[in-house]
Amino acid sequence: MKTDWLNEAFAGPAWHGPSLVGALRGVSDDLAAWRPAAGRHTIREIVLHCAYWKHIVRGRLTGLREQFARPGRNWIEAGAESWRGDLVLLKDEHRRLIAVVRRLPDRGASRRAAARNIRGIGAHDIYHAGQIQLIRKLARSS
């Protein structure tokens, strides 16, 4: 599977609207930490969640299990690291995932098995890009 669709969902340009990176463009530290309501996720938590799942999919594709860069699983609380550091982590995890996908064989059972995870992580980026756009609108109206 080519990496075009993964890169489109992540950084665009995308036909469907903002990519994940596009949805994050211009997000300040304060906006990244803004919580729409009790029990709802911040943009910063969503970024860490997206980075985490890119890490998990990469592990599924390689069979290697590495510790994620931040403590926790799935929904990770923002720690002492900076918001900019979170964005760097997200981009690094995407870059590492793309490198693995490029090395997959062009055909065969392993490629077919990987396709579901590859499609899923791209759709995950698109879903959360939309969620971030909604949080941004809510923050402007609050």
Is the pLDDT assigned to residue 1 strictly greater than 90? Answer: no
Closest CA to 128 of 82, 94, 81: 94
Cα–Cα distance, 75 to 42 (Å, whole number) = 10
Give the lowest-confidence range in 3-7, 16-20, 76-80, 121-125: 76-80
Give the chain's mean pLDDT. Answer: 92
pLDDT score for 15: 83
pLDDT score for 109: 67
Is the pLDDT assigned to residue 3 strictly greater than 90? Answer: no
pLDDT band of residue 120 (cuts 50, 70, 90) is very high
Per the structure, how many domains does the chain have?
A: 1
Tens of pLDDT, residues 42-91: 999 999 999 999 999 999 999 999 999 999 999 998 887 899 999 999 99
Closest CA to 61 of 102, 6, 27, 92: 102
Domain that holds residue 42: 4-141
Handedness of CA 124, 125, 128, 134 (dihedral sign): negative
pLDDT band of residue 107 (cuts 50, 70, 90) is confident
pLDDT score for 2: 73
Residue 88's domain is classified under what CATH number?
1.20.120
pLDDT score for 16: 82
Phi, psi of 19 (to 5 degrees): -75, 180
